[in-house]
A and B are shown apart, each in its own frame.
Chain A
Amino acid sequence: EPEVTQTPSHQVTQMGQEVILRCVPISNHLYFYWYRQILGQKVEFLVSFYNNEISEKSEIFDDQFSVERPDGSNFTLKIRSTKLEDSAMYFCASRDRAYSPLHFGNGTRLTVT
């Protein structure tokens, strides 16, 4: 069964550094998402992306965050200057059409020290 793949599985970075989290969505999917889960908390929406542009973003997704689909397969989340509170599991998800389930990757654990 096709799956969403995320790399790396764990990223450790120092505060103030830039990180790029990478995702390969399922190949025929059109809608792409980033979510995050801080330890012990709920899964929170960050951003949705469709037709090569952001369709919705949350309050968390401030100017330090950006997303890109540089080619036909990758979908990336960049954090320009990481903060301690950015430490979380980051999940990429995709879907092929409206009113269909989101398929999630296994996440990247980001640790900011």
Chain B
Amino acid sequence: DQQVKQNSPSLSVQEGRISILNCDYTNSMFDYFLWYKKYPAEGPTFLISISSIKDKNEDGRFTVFLNKSAKHLSLHIVPSQPGDSAVYFCAASGTNFGNEKLTFGTGTRLTIIP
């Protein structure tokens, strides 16, 4: 039951260019979305989030866009840096009075080429 999908298992981007990572979801009850970054042998690290009342949220080089009608979100990283090379997970949750679990996508491995 893949409620959160990341269809690109890998992505390579030149340093300094824009990286765009995509995520689709199927559960219309999801209303809070997050992006995590993961290095090998470490836990996921929170990057940026967006609630369903917004369509864009920015934090430095990272911007998340949400298209509720298409059930699609994307993460833009600009400019991309070598330290951005990692696996990126999209995650989503629905309203459950604070206990809501996160459902993760399968991840996209981003490689920044110097």
Contacts and interface: CB of A to CB of B under 8 A. Distances in A.
Nearest to A51: B99
B63 interface: no
A99 B51 contact: yes
Task: Give the interface SS of chain B, mostly helix, strand, loop or mixed.
Answer: loop
Contacts of B34: 101-102
A48 B42 CA distance: 21
B101 A42 contact: no
Place the interface of chain B in its size category: 20 to 34
Contact of A102 (B46, B105, B106, B107): B46
A107 interface: yes
Contact of A31 (B32, B99, B103, B105): B99
B44 A91 contact: yes
Contacts of B103: 45
Contacts of B89: 42-43
Interface of A: 4, 31, 33, 35, 41-45, 48, 50, 55-56, 58, 91, 93, 97-99, 101-107
30 contacts: A4-B43, A33-B101, A42-B89, A42-B105, A42-B106, A42-B107, A43-B89, A43-B104, A44-B104, A45-B101, A45-B102, A48-B101, A50-B98, A50-B99, A56-B96, A93-B43, A98-B97, A98-B98, A98-B99, A99-B51, A101-B34, A101-B46, A101-B49, A102-B34, A104-B36, A104-B43, A105-B43, A106-B42, A107-B41, A107-B42
